[in-house]
Structure 1
Amino acid sequence: MKKVSLLLIVAMLVMVMSACTSNSNSNAPGAGQEPEAAKPDGSGDPVTLKIVYKDEGTANPVSVKFFETLEKALAEDEGLNVKFELVDLAQGSYAENLNLLLLGGTIPDIIYFQGGDQQISEQGLLEDLTPYIEKSKYIKDIMEPHNKTRMESYPYLMWIKPLAPKAPVIRADWFNAMDSSKALIENPTVDNYYAFFKELVEKKPGEGKPSYALTAAGDIAEINFIFNTAFGLDTTWLKKADGTYEYSKVSQNEKEKLTFYNKLYKEGLLDPQFITKQWDTKEDAFYKGDAAVITGTVGKILDLYDGRMQDLGGKEAELIVLPPAKGDGGQGFGATDVTKESRGLAISSQSPHKDIAFQVFDYLASPKGQMLDRLGFENEHFTVENGEIVLNDKYYSEWYARFWEPTEMKSETPLKTPLLGKPGTESLSMASEFYTEDNNFLIPDQFVANWDAMNNLYKEYSTDFITGKKDLSQFDEFVEAWYAAGGTEITKYANENIK
C-alpha cells in the first residue's frame, strides 16, 4: 500500500509540474494557444473573441455585418475559425461604463479604450504588445513614426491612424454669407475669430440660426485645438525666461485664454450648455444648426460630418475646414502627445486567446484586411470597374476604418477614387503642416493620485472662470491651490527630466 501511495504522489507531482511548465509559456506570442482555431483549413471549434468597442454593438447593423464579414475573411484567407462576440455597454460615458465593466470582472479579449486605460494597465490586465509587433507579418510595416514612439513608452494600446488633432468646420453656405469670412481665412487671428463668431450669431444665416457660434463636448479640450497655440500654449510645459519649466495650465498664457473663453461665454458665442454636452448631443446641435462651428477629428471623421450635413442641408451645406487661430504664440492645433496613444485597442492579459486576437490585428493590416477595414462592403460602399475600385457616396458618408488606417494603403486592386473627401484631405494636410511634438511625459506612479486631483482642480476652476462663477482675478488662487495639491513636486520632477 505504501508503494502504491508513493507512486500516486509521484504521478500527481509530475502532472502538477507539467501543468506549471505549460502555463509558464502560455504568455509568449506563438506559444501554441488555440491549436484548433489555427488549423490551415479553418476547421475545429471556433474561438470566441469577445470585443468591446465604442459604437460597435449589436444594435448597429453595420457593425454586426462587419464582424461577420471579418469572420468569413479570416477563415478563407488565414484558416482562422473565429467567432466575434460584441459586448454592449449602457448609454452614457463610454470610458466610465467600460471602467465599470472591467472592474466588475468582465474583461473581453479585445478592448477599445478612449481614456481610463492606464489604471487598467497598472493592474496588469493589459498585454504588452511589443513582442507581438516584432513578430508580426504586417503590423510592424504600417506603423507611423508617432505610433512607434508611443508604443516604446506605453506598449499596451495600439492605434495606427494618421495624426489626429481636431479641426473646426462650418457649413459652406453659412461661411460664404459672412462678411468676416475672408479676413478669417487670410489672417485667422484670435480677434478675427471673435469677429466671425459674433457676426454668425448676429446675422443668423440659417433662418434664425445658429443660436451660438461654437459648441464642445463636456469641456474645453476640443476648443483648445483652435486657440491654444495662438495664446502661446504650444507645449504642456512652457519654458520661462529663466530657462525653467512651468505647467502650461498655471501660466499667464492660460489666464489670457480663459479670459477670452469667458468673453465668448458671456456674449452668447459659446454654447451655454457645453459642459453637459456629450459627443452625440454636440454633433446633434451642429446638424440642427444650433451651433455653427464644431471641431472633429481630422480625416475620415470630418468626411462623415460632411456627408451627414449634406444629407440634411443639400450640396450647399458641404463643410469648410477652418484654420487654427494664430497669435503671438504661433499657429497650430497644439503639440502632439507622443507618450502614449490617447485611444486605441488593447488585448487583455487574462485572455486565453491572446495569440489569436493579435492574428486578427495583423490580418487587418494586410492588403486583404485593409480592403475590408478601409473600403467597406463591395457593391455597397464600392464597386470594381475595369479593374479599379470606385468608391461611392455611401462610402464617404458612412464608412470608417474600425482598426488601422495607415497613410499609405496597399491594395491588391488599384483605387480609382481617393479614400478621403475634400474636408478629410484638407484637414489631414493641415495636421501635417502644423505638426509639433509635445514635451510632456508619462506621470510616475508616485504622482498619479495627486495628478488626477490636480487635473480635477483645473477643470473645476477653469469651468467656473469661463462661466463667470469665479472671477478671473482669482486665477492666482487656483495656481496656489494647484501647487499645494502636488504641483510643486511634479514641477520639480519636470525640470529634472525634460531634456
Structure 2
Amino acid sequence: MKKIIQVVLALCMAMVLFTGCNSKKEEKDTVNTGKQTETADKNQNEKTDDKTSPVIIKTVIKDMSSDDEVSVKFLEKVSEGVSKQLGREVKIELAPISEGTYSESLGLLIQSGVIPDLMYFQGGDYQFAITQGILEDLRPYIEESTYVKSLIQPYNKARLENYPYLLWLAPDRIKVPVVRQDWLDGSETGKALLENPTPENYKEFFKELVKQHNLLSAYTVPGDITELDTVFNLAFGVTQTWVMEGDSYVYSKVSQATKDKLGFYAELYKEGLLDKEWISKKWDTKESAFYNGEVGVVAGTQGSVVNVYNNKMTGQNGESAKLAVLPPAKGVAQGYTPSDVSKESRGWAINAYSENKDVAFAILEYMASPEGQVLDKLGYEDEHYTKEGEQYKLTDKIGEWWPRFHESIYQFEANFAPETPYYSQAAEKALDMVVQYSSFDNSFVIPDDYATNWDAQEALYAEFAAEVINGNRSIDEFDTYVKEWYALGGTEITEYANEVLNK
C-alpha cells in the first residue's frame, strides 16, 4: 500500500512539473501587452528583419476568402505590386473567419486573440478593439505617404482627426435622388424644379410624374425615411443632428423643423406621392419598382450605386432612360445629408501590435498608387479591360469586378474609351452635386453610458414618424412624442451634447 501511494505521489509530481513547464512555455510564447494577450508567431517575427525572407501579412477583407480562387489570385497580384514597391518579398494571406455576418465574425476573431496585421472593419469597430487598444493611429503613416495622402478628402481628414484608426478612401456615402432623364425632360414642372427646388415644386413634379406615367407613386424608400431626408431635411431646417433653438442645442428629431418635415411627408403619403408600402419595402423591391416604372424617383449613394442604377435602367429600358440627378430641396437651407465626421463607420485598420505595421500600410499605399488603382478598380488586362496605347477599353466582364481597397476615383486619371466610360454621366454628376451641396454634421459618438437610452429614443422616433406619415397619428401629437423622448433620457443626452458642442 505504501508503495502504491508513493507511485501515485510521484505521478502527481510529474504532472505538476509538466503542467508548470507547459505554463511557462505558453507564457513565454505569449505576448502580453497589458491591454491584450495575443499569440505570437515566433518564426515569422524572427524573420521580419531578414530582408531576404518574405514578410507575411495576415489580413481579413469582407467578401474575400482563402478558399476563393478569385480572392487568392487578386491578393497574389497585390503582393507582387507591394513587393516591387518595397524591394522585398511580401505575401498577403487571408486569415480564416467564422461563418455569420462579417462584423460579428471579425469581432469574434479579434476577441479570440488572433489579430491580423491589416483589417477591414464594417459595421462598427467593436468596443473590444477600443478598450484593448489594438488599433494603430494611422495619421503618422498617412502624413509620410505619397498616394494615400493625395486621395484624402476634407471629410476623411476631419474623421481621422476625431478617430484616427480607420481609413476609408471612397466617396462619402451620401444619397442623391435620381429620375429618368426622358421623364424629367418631358415634364412641364421639371424646369421649375431644377431652377427652384422648393418642397412645393418637388410635390408638383411628383404629381405630374404619377399622372403622366401612371405610376403607383412618385417616390419610394426601403423601410425608413432616410432617403427622403437626404432630399428634404435641410429645406425644413434639419441642418445637422443637433440644431440651435434659442441659445442652446436640441436634438433635431425633437425640433420644430422635424415637426414641419414630418407634416410634409404625411401630405406626400396621403396624396399618393410616397409609396403606400414604403415601410415594408426592401432594397431589391425598391430598385425593381424603379426599373419597372412603378415609381419615378429613388435615392442612391453617389458614385458607384448611381452608376449601377443608371446601367440597369438603361439596360432594361433603353439609352433614353439614362438617369438625371435631382438637386436637394431648397428652403431654410439647401443640401444633401451632411457628412458625419465623428469617425469612419468602416475602413482599414492596422494592428497596433503587429511586427510589420509599415508593410501593412505599404499595401494601402500601393493600392492608392496609379498602378494599384488600375488593378483595384479595373481588374486584369485582357479579361476586364483591354488597352490600346494609353486608353482603357472595358470588357463585358467589368460588371463582375469591384474595388477591394479604395473606391475613390478622385485623381484617378485613367483614359477610357468613350464607348466604355468607368462611370456614367449620372454617376459623375452625382459626385459633383454632392461636392456642390456638401456640409459637415455635428454628430458625435454616443458614450456607452447613454447608449441604451439612445437606442430607445431612436426607436421611439422611428415609430412616431412612421405613424404620422401613414396617417395613424396626427402631427399635432408631436409635443407628446417630444415629452416621451426627453423622459427616456433625452434631458441628460441634451445636456451632454451642449457640453460637447460648446467646447
- 202 and 330 in structure 1: CA distance in 2 versus 1, 3 angstrom threshold: same
- 23 and 243 in structure 1: CA distance in 2 versus 1, 3 angstrom threshold: closer
Matching residue's letter, 1:244: S
Matching residue's letter, 2:156: N
Instruction: Indicate if the aligned counterparts of 1:389 and 1:414 stay in contact, CA closer than 8 A.
Output: yes
2:223 pairs with 1:214:
no
> SS in structure 1 opposite 2:376?
helix
| Cα deviation, residue 437, structure 1 | 1.4
Q: Distance in 1 between matches of 2:218 and 2:20?
A: 78
| Cα deviation, residue 399, structure 1 | 4.7
2:184 pairs with 1:184:
no
Instruction: Indicate if the aligned counterparts of 1:383 and 1:390 stay in contact, CA closer than 8 A.
Output: yes
CA distances 1:67-95 after superposition (whole Å, capped 9, x unpaired): 522323313542322344686966xxxxx
Partner of 1:466: 469
Partner of 2:435: 432
TM-score (norm 2): 0.80
| Cα deviation, residue 340, structure 1 | 1.0
Q: Distance in 2 between matches of 1:492 and 1:102?
A: 35
CA distances 1:205-261 after superposition (whole Å, capped 9, x unpaired): xxx5x3211111221112111000110111111112x32111111011101111111
Q: Distance in 2 between matches of 1:32 and 1:425?
A: 49
2:223 pairs with 1:223:
no
Partner of 2:5: none
- 247 and 119 in structure 1: CA distance in 2 versus 1, 3 angstrom threshold: same
Instruction: Indicate if the aligned counterparts of 2:45 and 2:355 stay in contact, CA closer than 8 A.
Output: no
Partner of 2:262: 258
| Cα deviation, residue 153, structure 1 | 2.1
In the alignment, structure 1 segments of 5+ residues that lack a partner are 91-96
Matching residue's letter, 2:476: S
CA distances 1:148-186 after superposition (whole Å, capped 9, x unpaired): 221232234321123331111111222223221111111
Matching residue's letter, 2:465: S
Kindly name which structure, 1 or 2, has the bigger radius of gyration based on alpha carbons. 2
CA distances 1:6-58 after superposition (whole Å, capped 9, x unpaired): x9999999867754568679999xx99845997877869x76644334xx689
Q: Distance in 2 between matches of 1:132 and 1:296?
A: 31
Matches within 5 A, 1:56-455: 65=70, 68-75=73-80, 77-78=82-83, 79-84=89-94, 97-98=101-102, 100-101=104-105, 109=116, 114-117=122-125, 119=127, 121=129, 124=132, 127-131=134-138, 134=141, 137=145, 138-204=147-213, 208=214, 210-240=215-245, 242-327=246-331, 329-346=332-349, 358-386=361-389, 388-392=390-394, 394=396, 399-406=401-408, 408-409=410-411, 419-455=422-458
| Cα deviation, residue 134, structure 1 | 2.1
- 247 and 416 in structure 1: CA distance in 2 versus 1, 3 angstrom threshold: same
Q: Distance in 1 between matches of 2:45 and 2:417?
A: 41
CA distances 1:188-210 after superposition (whole Å, capped 9, x unpaired): 11011111111111221xxx5x3
Q: Distance in 2 between matches of 1:133 and 1:376?
A: 30
Q: Distance in 2 between matches of 1:270 and 1:310?
A: 24
Instruction: Indicate if the aligned counterparts of 2:209 and 2:218 stay in contact, CA closer than 8 A.
Output: yes
> SS in structure 1 opposite 2:380?
coil
Instruction: Indicate if the aligned counterparts of 2:235 and 2:329 stay in contact, CA closer than 8 A.
Output: yes
Q: Distance in 1 between matches of 2:339 and 2:277?
A: 28
In the alignment, structure 2 segments of 5+ residues that lack a partner are 1-13, 84-88
Judge which range, 231-240 or 103-112, deviates more: 103-112
Q: Distance in 1 between matches of 2:244 and 2:139?
A: 39
Superposed CA RMSD in Å reads 4.1
> SS in structure 1 opposite 2:342?
coil
Instruction: Indicate if the aligned counterparts of 2:138 and 2:164 stay in contact, CA closer than 8 A.
Output: no
Instruction: Indicate if the aligned counterparts of 1:33 and 1:352 stay in contact, CA closer than 8 A.
Output: no
| Cα deviation, residue 375, structure 1 | 2.4
Identity of aligned pairs, percent?
A: 38
2:483 pairs with 1:480:
yes
